[in-house]
Amino acid sequence: MLGELYSRCPDAEAFRHAVEALGGDFVLDAAEMIELGEAYFRRHPDTSCNRDRESVLAGYALVRLCVTERLIRRLSPAEREFYRGVFQNPGRVGVLSGRFSDDELQAGLAAVEAAMAEIRESIEGIPKGPVKERFIGGISHLCTVLYLIRLHLDKRTPGLDSGQSGGGKS
């Protein structure tokens, strides 16, 4: 479905609008990821001797768009905006999270982390190669931002500290 949708859209912006309009109501298993990846590589051919940075970043952006919409599909509109915002600008996590209570932030994050675990399992099902690399590179940033939100939440609610934030503080 996503691969076909991508092929039909004339550019990345059109695809973004089309995907966001789905509200996360699409399948994103390994087979769909491969189909989307193959559609992307038809538009952005990748060779071992010619790695075009803009094409690679376009691939990551494509992955982040689709994965983000799946991750946030069960959240409230305000939470969706929050996650889209922090994925775009991780440095604003403190400001953007201020509109949610600790419980709201915790519940939303738990849902998103569970959805990410499913996505990562699906990526494991993709054979080694450029499609898998784009998906791993794409979700890497999203996973880091989720960790950042968890760090932020731990700081807001010290009683919930899971010990993840001690690395550089000593």
Partner 1 sequence: MSDPKKVLIIDDDPAICDSVKAVLEAVGFQTEVAYSGKDGVAAFRRSRPDVVLCDMMMEDLDAGAQAAKIMRKERPDVPIFLLSSIGDSTAETVGFGHLGFSGIFQKPVNFDLLLAVMGRIAKS
The site for partner 1 (CB under 8 A) is made up of 48, 51, 53, 56-57, 60, 64, 89-91, 93, 120, 128, 133, 136-137, 139-145, 147-148, 151-152, 155, 163-170
**For residues 77 and 170, which CB has a smaller minimum distance to partner 1 in the complex?**
170
Min. distance of Cβ 90 from partner 1 in angstroms? Answer: 4
Side-chain half-sphere exposure of 115, counting CA atoms within 13 A: 22
Min. distance of Cβ 170 from partner 1 in angstroms? Answer: 6
Q: Which residues contact 125 (CB under 8 A, 6 or more apart)?
A: 29, 30
Q: Which residues contact 160 (CB under 8 A, 6 or more apart)?
A: 106, 153, 154
Min. distance of Cβ 67 from partner 1 in angstroms? Answer: 11
**For residues 18 and 136, which CB has a smaller minimum distance to partner 1 in the complex?**
136
**For residues 7 and 137, which CB has a smaller minimum distance to partner 1 in the complex?**
137
Min. distance of Cβ 137 from partner 1 in angstroms? Answer: 5
Report which DSSP code applies to 44. S
Q: Which amino acid is at 137?
A: G
Nearest-angstrom CA–CA distance, 55 and 93: 28
**For residues 7 and 55, which CB has a smaller minimum distance to partner 1 in the complex?**
55
Q: What would the two tokens of residue 162 be?
A: 């899971």
Q: What is the chain's length?
A: 170
Min. distance of Cβ 8 from partner 1 in angstroms? Answer: 26
Using CA atoms, how far residue 3 sits from 7, 41, 103, 115, in Å, is: 6, 11, 37, 21
Q: What would the two tokens of residue 144 be?
A: 């880091």
**For residues 25 and 50, which CB has a smaller minimum distance to partner 1 in the complex?**
50
